[in-house]
Structure 1
């Protein structure tokens, strides 16, 4: 994580000329007798031996902190002081390295664009662009999205309730309507999406709609999940519930066995990452004994950062941010389908797919579990660190 801090063998504070009475070995001055010769220094040493705890306020004897009856073997040329024992430079070095090179937190941070408009000739153009985006483009996009919702709801509600007995026809129409509504959303951002490679297809006349596995959200997003997106066979879960993980695993197996079900669109990281890194993939999707079609997505942040930082921004505000930008630009690569190789474990399969996606999209792999974003450090981990520090103190005791 970082280079260890240098540890000197002498006192950490050195010989400060402002405080000569604390460093007689350097200044050669006896603050008690007022003599500065070698005899005075020897007398000072004798005095320190008789009452070290009274005079060495900055350097207390470690024997004062040991249980009664315990003794320490002292070297002939010095004593073991508390500051020598509690040398925490390795611990501080590790903590500083974790702060400087925090490869986990940076995976979930938004990256604001570099300021470019603070000069005389670009600032007026930027202000003109703000007027166009907020007063012209944004109202047009809101109007288009509203028209899309009107068309969608006026068609989806009758189909959903009137075609209850004809499930196959109803699901087909609902899929088409959801796909149309998604197109309205992308249009409201002026989405510019460039596709590379053939789209995976399992059978003739394959529907392009996908069933999605995602976190259950509150508010109006949760309402859409439980009503409209339910028609696609989407699977919801709660990260904090262990029971939900078992339910999701069972639903995954049931979904892939159905011939008429939509293909599953899975984000195996389990959380939103800022499109610079790839965290560890969950192995559940790779235990289904099914063909995996990797899809790599890379956003061009020239106009807006499409990453949703759910800890700092609601989905509504994120949607407004996209709708008030010039455009959302991204590339999508459909990669070669992959299958589990003989003798390969699901974890190795997941890592192999992660390598393929990372290379294609130019993302950096990091050895982190994305679920750590939603959890606090384990008390066992903290206790283990404390025990390591205690062991280092005991080793110093034995060395001295």
Structure 2
């Protein structure tokens, strides 16, 4: 069986067989394979629902033997249970670890309360004032340089220093205690830097030490303003992770940037923020360019604050406020030994080897999940699939009923036992017809004795 079929516009479409291969249940976040996100991004909502219903029909109708077997089969329930377990292990990578309470006793609670007052009433206003002052100084210097200075290496060097100054202002506002280990990155063609990703502050911390161009999701608001008006001067590349075309275009521009003598390019191969306890699957883009890969391991100490940014629950502004009201952000940054692809080593093997290096240094647990798929939950995006799945199961049972029991003939969806594909041919539409007839019968039963239907009154 072919797993893809050509659509009218030339884009390959996912068939039910391929769809079912990475969507075992509604609770599972759309499978965990590298190609799954691209396949789903190319499908419309209606095509996703149709493919899922077709896959479910194929699973239920293709292996049925008897009414008793189909009614007592727990195959689907077990598959959903396994999917839920996988879902839980997947979500562990993107949730903050709750801290153990330590201050609920008579002698520690007053000290903790004084600390809260000091952080919010004294420390936070001072940090906010310092950040605003840094921003004001940065804007007063950066935009005149950007508008008036002629293009060239000198202008780029000045802009890089100013952006380092701005990032240093951010680190100052958290009272950041950052320790850098290893040689400072230097520009050069054929080099790329890759790092594990916990928050957008990863880039801020690294850029306060050495200027980097970065590949990043384009945001809105004041963050988007800084991205498009300030960081663009470094050659940063922006994209929308839900747009496949954006990702393909960025991949082309990324290769051009790496092989030019430009600002060092920083890539977060995980593609999303992870909670600094796990390391999800690395995308292959950074490892396909025949460039020297410089791994960077970033490890945060959670003694004062958890630096993980859960973008599904808080905006970046809220995330910054949490950091600015903590005692300090403590982190270690390790610039590891540059790596080249070994002879006979594939792209996936190269990416896995670099991932292992970073995870080992930062004490992270490597898991095989694709981080992009945390943004795609089948049950949330297509809630109607739950009802459609029930109808498919009802369709399986209907094929064992006699035509009269199924609601009156083939139009109601009945098929004799052993007819096999007769139930599949009618599909979900047959179930809907049976439901309409059931509603009409219920209305007739609710009428008083002797009451005529509207059609009868009209004839009389």
TM-score normalised by length of structure 2: 0.62
- 116 and 91 in structure 1: CA distance in 2 versus 1, 3 angstrom threshold: farther
Partner of 1:96: 81
What is the alpha-carbon distance in structure 1 between the residues aligned to residue 270 and residue 151 of structure 2? Answer: 37
Structure 1 residue 349, shift from structure 2 partner: 0.8
Match of 2:148 among 139, 162, 168: 162
Work out the CA distance in 2 between the residues paired with 1:311 and 1:377: 16
Say whether residues 1:358 and 2:344 are aligned partners.
no
Partner Cα distance (1:81, 1:230) in 2: 64
Q: How is 1:324-363 mapped onto 2 (pairs within 5 angstroms)? A: 324-363=325-364
| Residue number in structure 2 paired with 1:323 | 324
C-alpha contact 2:300 2:330 (8 A) present in aligned 1: yes
- Mark the structure with the bigger radius of gyration: 1
In structure 1, the residue matched to 2:228 is 226
CA pair 199-88 structure 1, distance change in 2 beyond 3 A? farther
Q: Identify unmatched segments of 5+ residues in structure 1.
A: 1-71, 74-79
**Aligned twin of 1:113:** 99
Q: Which residue of 2 aligns with 1:252?
A: 254
The offset of 1:96, in angstroms, is: 3.4
Change (3 A) 1:166 1:93: closer
Give the gaps of 5 or more residues in structure 2: 1-63, 189-208, 398-416, 419-460
Pick closer, same or farther for the CA change 1:98–1:172 going to 2, 3 Å.
Answer: same
Which of 228, 236, 239 is matched with 1:237 structurally?
Answer: 239
Answer yes or no: is 1:307 the counterpart of 2:308: yes
SS at the partner of 1:183? helix
> How far, CA to CA, are the matches of 1:197 and 1:222 in structure 2?
32
Q: Deviations over 1:300-323 (max 9, x none)?
A: 111111111111001110010000
> 2:110 matched to 1:124?
yes
The separation in 2 between residues aligned to 1:344 and 1:245, in whole angstroms, is: 25
User: Which residue is 1:212 aligned to?
Assistant: 214
**Corresponding residue of 2:163:** 178
Root mean square deviation of aligned Cα:
2.8
Q: Which has the larger displacement, 279-288 or 368-377?
A: 368-377
Secondary structure, counterpart of 2:72 in structure 1: coil
Deviation at 1:98, TM superposition (A): 4.0
Post-superposition shift, 1:106?
A: 0.9
C-alpha distance after superposition, 1:37-72 (max 9, x if no partner): xxxxxxxxxxxxxxxxxxxxxxxxxxxxxxxxxxx9
CA contact (8 A) 1:268 1:285 kept: yes
Aligned to 2:135: 149
1:190 aligns with 2:175: yes
State the secondary structure of the residue aligned to 1:114. coil
Bigger mean CA offset, 113-122 vs 315-324: 113-122
Instruction: Name whichever of 331-340 and 113-122 sits farther off.
Output: 113-122
Q: Distance in 1 between matches of 2:335 and 2:151?
A: 34
The answer to whether the Cα contact below 8 Å between 1:141 and 1:323 also exists between their aligned partners in 2 is yes
Deviation at 1:94?
A: 4.2
CA distance in 1, matches of 2:330, 2:98: 16
Is the contact made by 1:103 and 1:366 (CA closer than 8 Å) also made in structure 2? no
Do the aligned partners of 1:138 and 1:324 also contact (CA within 8 Å) in 2?
yes
CA distance in 1, matches of 2:185, 2:232: 23
Q: Contact 1:190 / 1:327 at 8 angstroms: preserved in 2?
A: yes
Distance 1:189 1:116 in 2: 23
Contact 1:210 1:264 in 2 (8 A): yes
Aligned to 2:6: none
Compute the TM-score of the two structures, normalised by the length of structure 1: 0.71
Pair 1:88–1:111, CA change in 2 (3 A): farther
Rounded Cα–Cα distance in structure 1 between residues aligned with 2:151 and 2:247: 32
Task: Map 1:273-284 to 2 at 5 A.
Answer: 273-284=274-285
Q: Secondary structure at the match of 1:347?
A: helix
SS in 2 for 1:120: coil
Deviation by residue 1:215-274 (Cα, 9 ceiling, x = unmatched): 000111111100011111111011111111111011111101211x11111100011111
Counterpart of 1:289 in structure 2 is 290
> 1:95 offset after TM fit, Å?
3.3
Question: Aligned to 1:137, which of 120, 123, 129?
Answer: 123
* Contact 2:187–2:263 (Cα < 8 Å) also in 1: no
Structure 1 counterpart of 2:263: 262
